Structure 1
Amino acid sequence: MTPFHLAFPVRDLDETRAFYGEVLGCRIGRSSDSWVDFDLYGHQMSAHLRPNAAAAQRDGAVDGIAVPIPHFGAVLLMDEWEKLAARLEARQDIDWLERPMVRFKGQPGEQATLFIRDPSGNALEFKGFRSLEQVFAH
């Protein structure tokens, strides 16, 4: 699989470096005084300084759960997802939108998921699958 690239707005680069680098464990790449790159599970995420950017709103619904739109994140194998979920749950400073849960239980595409916000209000979803063949199952 080739890496995906996403550029997204943030209000403060220092708090963004701390969140993505320390909380999520992303390797920090190139940067300037107005942007910074992160390695999010092999994908290039570019945080661009935009102090007045709006936060994601909870206005979508999937499997009966309100989800924030827009959001981004990563699809992980279940063991890696479980490690991330446990690391986030152990922290007191996580802005949870939806705590870890399983959706579509017993159905094709069954997945574990969680939603959090970064310090700028960007919504992130992390999904866990037992097999990557289930990502597009229907």
Structure 2
Amino acid sequence: MALSPFHLAIPVHDLPAARAFYGETFGLSEGRSSDQWVDFDFYGHQLVIHEHPKTPAQENAHTNPVDGHDVPIPHFGIVLGWQEWERLAERLRAAGTVFVIEPYVRFKDQPGEQATMFLLDPCGNALEFKAFKDMSQLFAK
């Protein structure tokens, strides 16, 4: 499946902390930057963190129930291969990451079974990382 890279710009109220989080915690490569923003290679996509005052969503995230968990809204993330997801989960655990939703398998033995985890960046932006053993289940009902 060939996908075009997406571009996502998000607000961060602490640019140095967010830069360290995305660069060091995830090991993302930096692209262009200025005193107010930084581009990252987010698994082949362009993620840009922009300095911005704290937003209401960063201060008090809304949640929706999904599979018995309170999923933060809004959130963004990436679908990884299963083994890459497992390596990332281990890397984040080893780094002492505090998860909003600990890594686990959601919708077990149902269409769309997936591994997922949720965490917040230092500025309160919610991220989800997921994986499917069978990528054809990505949009399964």
TM over 0.5, shorter chain:
yes
| CA shift for structure 1 position 133 | 1.2
Q: TM-score, normalised by structure 2?
A: 0.92
| CA shift for structure 1 position 131 | 2.5
Q: Distance in 2 between matches of 1:96 and 1:57?
A: 14
| Kept after mapping to 1: 8 A contact 2:54/2:123 | no
Please tell me the root mean square deviation across aligned C-alpha atoms, in Å: 1.2
Indicate yes or no: 2:122 matched with 1:119: yes
| CA shift for structure 1 position 53 | 2.3
Q: Distance in 2 between matches of 1:44 and 1:6?
A: 6
Aligned length: 137
Identical pairs, percent: 57
Find the partner of 2:80 among 68, 71, 76.
Answer: 76
Unaligned runs of 5+ in 1: none
Q: Summarize deviations over 1:9-28 as a string: whole Å, max 9, x none.
A: 00122111110011011111
Q: Summarize deviations over 1:38-65 as a string: whole Å, max 9, x none.
A: 1111111111101322316142111221
Q: TM-score, normalised by structure 1?
A: 0.94
Partner of 1:89: 93
Question: Which amino acid in structure 2 is aligned with residue 126 of structure 1?
Answer: F
The 10-residue stretch of structure 1 (65-74 or 54-63) with the greater mean CA deviation from structure 2: 54-63
Q: Which structure is higher in strand share? A: 1
